[in-house]
Amino acid sequence: MSPRRVRSVCPYDCPDTCGLLVDVEDGRAVAVGGDPEHPYTRELLCPKMNDYQRTVHNPRRLTTPLRRSGAKGEGTFVPVSWEEALAEIAGRWREIIATWGAEAILPYSYAGTMGLVQRNAGHPFFHRLGASRLDRTICAPAKDAGWQAVMGATPAVAPETVRDSDLVILWGINAAATNIHFLPDVNAARRRGAKVWLIETYRTPTANVADRTMLVRPGNDGALARGIMHLLERQGRLDQAFIDRHVQGFEELSAAVLPGYPPEKVSALTGVPEEALRELAAAFGAARAPFIRVGSGISRYGNGAMTVRTIACLPALVGAFGRPGAGCLCGTSTGAAFAMEAVLREDFMARPTRVINMNRLGEALAAIDDPPVKALYVYHSNPAAVAPDQNAVLAGLAREDLFTVVHERFLTDTARYADIVLPATTSLEHDDLYRSYGTYYIQRARPAIPPVGESRSNWRTFAALAEVMGFDEPFFRQSAEDLVDRLLARSAPLREGIDTRALAEGRAVELAVANAGGPPFLTPSGKIEIRNPRLEEPLPDFRPPHGGAYPLRLLTGASRRLLNSSFCERDELRSIEGGMLLKLGPEEAAARDLVDGQPVIAWNDLGEVRFILRISDRVPAGAAVAEGVWWLEFAPGTRTVNALTSQRLTDLGGGSTFYDNTVEVKGA
Ligand SMILES: Nc1nc2c(c(=O)[nH]1)N[C@H]1C(S)=C(S)[C@@H](COP(=O)(O)OP(=O)(O)OC[C@H]3O[C@@H](n4cnc5c(=O)[nH]c(N)nc54)[C@H](O)[C@@H]3O)O[C@H]1N2
Ligand SMILES: Nc1nc2c(c(=O)[nH]1)N[C@H]1C(S)=C(S)[C@@H](COP(=O)(O)OP(=O)(O)OC[C@H]3O[C@@H](n4cnc5c(=O)[nH]c(N)nc54)[C@H](O)[C@@H]3O)O[C@H]1N2
Ligand SMILES: [Mo]
């Protein structure tokens, strides 16, 4: 019998949100490929999702609930039934609530799955329980805050429009790893004569698709953007008619800030040669349709929101709006597509409970005592690996008095510290509805195969927990499929007139976003707000990043073959990656007498981590690069990269500062 072919959606935290075709035979996925009919995927998948069946049917999949039988972190467990596991969780939580109150329970989740129902399945449950709330700010809230400061709720241009651009600036985005479906359209623009500039801190694989790569000293892009503005003004490249009509506060910026950023000073701050700075400003000023694609890396600094805010001002100076191919894309704004309050159910909260920032999990587990965190419930996240300040996180997870439950597909670093582990489904095994933060497509997915082993989806698990906790709201008794239907039944402005039949059939459907990129500009003043009177600093001025005392800037970017710590289960992907590497440029390696392939230790005040050294002329002096977040079991030592990153937050949004750290390196 030939396999049945079904449509599905990539559930991972990636701007592309690809359409998948899954071949199913005897209840197993036997092949996974890109959907040629998906308008953005166009049949192409990344190295991770190609052969996704190797994740789904991986021998490491968890198939039963487990109870810890060894020390925390050791990873020794015995299988138990769902009934036993649920009863134990309910019993322990009741004791904790009786002594400390329900706020002693902390949920911790992020983006193992991006589906709207499964991702948010815990919110109604924990609101009803009265647990602490988690501020989910590990990714790029500072980027959003920076964009919104200037553009408010204006929807960004769609990524495909880049085809019509004549100057593409990839600003702090490693698109060859993190946004690969954007590149065919960038290349289409290039074939029609567009020039592509990459602004980076080292030569990532994305440098291979750029005409020019400009390397900036980490955390100084805000100064670079001001330097470009200074030159645009000095060279008479402003679109004064556009500014007069649509921009608020350029005159103040021009008087109070821009004089402070002449090319000599910007060059000294950023390390960018004056000549290159002048070339970029001239190209931007002369372009008919400049398109800036802003990545998240630049926002993960103490000054991250301010950096993005400054970059978001740039198109206004040259009136790069409303012309095909022009604009600035930080992320697509698809939030209004669904009435998410129907999933989140904040109304289940009897009173607003306390909020804990997920980037400060280490501190929360050690220092909070009003009440202390006595129980942690982790689902679709791996904080032992991905959260900053790993030593603090692991010390917290090792606490004997902390009752930890982890709902997972694999025995991750975090699961190894659990008292109870619950097995989770993959996206091929459950219902969901997807929107994207990098395109304007939405898509529904139905299960392609039955759950592997005894695994249960987030939705089903919270329904079972609601039952053992005695919650009798009918809400908890509906299925994920019902909830998807309900979300689709409620109308939303962005879904007016879309093809509902195609959506029901599981095809990707484009949202009806009018005036993407603006005008009109959806800000309180109706103008692009270079001066934003509602912010503590109404004008965007430059602040240095947090930095640190060690000589090398640590850059902890994305790997092409891992997604944060996901895909570590795939032996073939890890082995192509070549191990947990630290990349140094030849001069920094020589200065420390280090040779390619040797074990090295990187350290700072927070910790030390063993890596394998890779000497690469793509890394400039003053930087060290560690891509991907590895599971401890595959690390050369006893810690991974986040033992070197700090719990310090961004200027706005309470975001993570993964890139804002320094280290020294020596032979191991
Ligand atoms: N293959 C793969 N894809 C992924 C992910 C993954 O881990 N692997 N992660 C997913 C997630 S969760 C996210 S949020 C996105 C993130 O994807 P991106 O938006 O690409 O963000 P990052 O990879 O964090 O950073 C992008 C680049 O910013 C650079 N950078 C760092 N500091 C600076 C600076 O000061 N100035 C400049 N100009 N550049 C700087 C880094 O070197 C890095 O190459 O990707 C998603 N897609
Ligand atoms: N050093 C460094 N650290 C980083 C980053 C970096 O660039 N450098 N990037 C940061 C960023 S941008 C982000 S967004 C965070 C991401 O942090 P996380 O959201 O924790 O991401 P993952 O590491 O992908 O872990 C997700 C886990 O969810 C599990 N999972 C998948 N689907 C399901 C499901 O349906 N149910 C359940 N219960 N589990 C599921 C997977 O098996 C996986 O172990 O990491 C951050 N950490
Ligand atoms: Mo992220």
Interval 359-391: pLDDT, tens: 999 999 999 999 999 999 999 999 999 999 999
Q: Whose CA is nearest to atom 10 of ligand 2?
A: 139
**Nearest in space to 641 (alpha carbons), one of 626, 619, 655, 656:** 626
Ligand 2: residue of 359, 397, 560, 564 to mutate (most ligand atoms within 8 A of CB) is: 564
Average pLDDT over residues 126-154: 97
Q: Whose CA is nearest to atom 4 of ligand 2?
A: 386
Residue in this structure with the two tokens 């929107």, named with its chain if needed: 435
Q: How far is the CA of 412 from the centre of ligand 2 (A)?
A: 11
pLDDT in tens, 46-70: 999 999 999 999 999 999 999 999 9
| DSSP state letter for 16 | T
Task: State which amino acid sits at residue 647.
Answer: Q
Q: How far is the CA of 84 from the centre of ligand 2 (A)?
A: 28
Ligand 1: residue of 174, 204, 630 to mutate (most ligand atoms within 8 A of CB) is: 174
Q: Label residue 536 exposed, middle or buried (CB < 10 Å: 0-12, 13-18, 19+).
A: exposed
**Nearest in space to 215 (alpha carbons), one of 619, 657, 559:** 619
Ligand 2 atom nearest to CA at 387 = 47
Ligand 1 environment, Cβ below 6 A:
13-14, 139-140, 171-174, 177-178, 199-202, 204, 216, 218-219, 221, 295-298, 555, 557-560, 562-564, 659
Bridge partners of 9, per DSSP, are: 19
pLDDT in tens, 303-336: 999 999 999 999 999 999 989 999 999 999 888 8
> For position 493, what pLDDT does the model report?
87
Report CA 253 to chain centroid distance, whole Å.
Answer: 31
Tokens of 254: 């021009």
Q: How far is the CA of 618 from the centre of ligand 3 (A)?
A: 24
Half-sphere exposure of 382 (CA within 13 A, CB side): 24
CATH topology (fold) of 66-139+354-430+447-490:
Rossmann fold (3.40.50)
Q: How far is the CA of 178 from the centre of ligand 3 (A)?
A: 10
Taking the CA of 297 as reference, the closest ligand is: 1
Phi, psi of 77 (to 5 degrees): -140, 160
| Residue 343 DSSP SS3 | helix
Let me know if domain 4-56 sits in CATH 3.30.460.10.
Answer: no
Distances (CA, A) of 544 to 222, 269, 338: 9, 9, 39
Question: Domain-by-domain residue ranges, the chain?
Answer: 4-56, 66-139+354-430+447-490, 141-333+515-529, 552-667
Q: What is the CATH number of domain 552-667?
A: 2.40.40.20
**Please, which residues have CB within 8 angstroms of residue 146's CB and are 6 or more apart in sequence?**
299, 304, 305, 306, 307, 308, 309, 310, 311, 312, 330, 652
Ligand 1 atom nearest to CA at 202 = 42
Give residues whose Cβ lies within 5 Å of ion ligand 3: 139
% residues pLDDT > 70 (the chain)? 100
Taking the CA of 49 as reference, the closest ligand is: 1
DSSP per position, 80-142:
--HHHHHHHHHHHHHHHHHHH-GGGEEEEE-SS---HHHHTTHHHHHHHHTPPEEE--SS-HH
Parallel, antiparallel, or unpaired: how do β-strands 247-248 and 290-294 relate? unpaired
Q: How far is the CA of 277 from the centre of ligand 2 (A)?
A: 37
Residue in this structure with the two tokens 């030159």, named with its chain if needed: 231
**Nearest in space to 14 (alpha carbons), one of 479, 591, 563:** 563
Whole-angstrom distance, CA of residue 163 vs CA of residue 187: 8
pLDDT in tens, 458-491: 999 999 999 999 999 999 999 999 999 999 999 8
Average pLDDT over residues 234-243: 96
Position 232 pLDDT exceeds 90: yes
Average pLDDT over residues 577-594: 97
* pTM (predicted TM-score): 0.98
Ligand 1 atom nearest to CA at 545 = 35
Bridge partners of 376, per DSSP, are: 106, 404
Q: Are 458 and 79 in contact (CB under 8 A)?
A: no
> For position 2, what pLDDT does the model report?
84
Bridge partners of 156, per DSSP, are: none
Tokens of 312: 């978001």
**Please, which residues have CB within 8 angstroms of residue 503's CB and are 6 or more apart in sequence?**
442, 443, 444, 488, 509
> For position 203, what pLDDT does the model report?
98
Q: Whose CA is nearest to atom 19 of ligand 1?
A: 295
Taking the CA of 175 as reference, the closest ligand is: 1
Ligand 2: residue of 13, 386, 409, 663 to mutate (most ligand atoms within 8 A of CB) is: 386
Report CA 551 to chain centroid distance, whole Å.
Answer: 28
Residue in this structure with the two tokens 């291979």, named with its chain if needed: 208
Average pLDDT over residues 172-198: 98
Taking the CA of 580 as reference, the closest ligand is: 2
Position 596 pLDDT exceeds 80: yes
Average pLDDT over residues 587-600: 98
Q: How far is the CA of 658 from the centre of ligand 3 (A)?
A: 11
Ligand 2 environment, Cβ below 6 A:
13, 110-113, 118, 138-139, 379-382, 386, 407-410, 412, 424-425, 458, 556-558, 563-566, 629, 641-642, 645, 658
Taking the CA of 295 as reference, the closest ligand is: 1
Ligand 1 atom nearest to CA at 139 = 14
Average pLDDT of the chain is 97
Q: How far apart are the first and last CA of the chain?
A: 56
Taking the CA of 562 as reference, the closest ligand is: 1
**Band of pLDDT at residue 1, cut at 50, 70 and 90:** low
Whole-angstrom distance, CA of residue 632 vs CA of residue 620: 28
Parallel, antiparallel, or unpaired: how do β-strands 167-171 and 290-294 relate? parallel
Q: How far is the CA of 379 from the centre of ligand 2 (A)?
A: 10
Ligand 2 atom nearest to CA at 110 = 19
CATH topology (fold) of 141-333+515-529:
Dimethylsulfoxide Reductase; domain 2 (3.40.228)
Q: How far is the CA of 65 from the centre of ligand 1 (A)?
A: 35
Q: Whose CA is nearest to atom 10 of ligand 1?
A: 14
> For position 336, what pLDDT does the model report?
86
Phi, psi of 610 (to 5 degrees): -85, 135
pLDDT in tens, 389-428: 999 999 999 999 999 999 999 999 999 999 999 999 999 9
Position 514 pLDDT exceeds 90: no
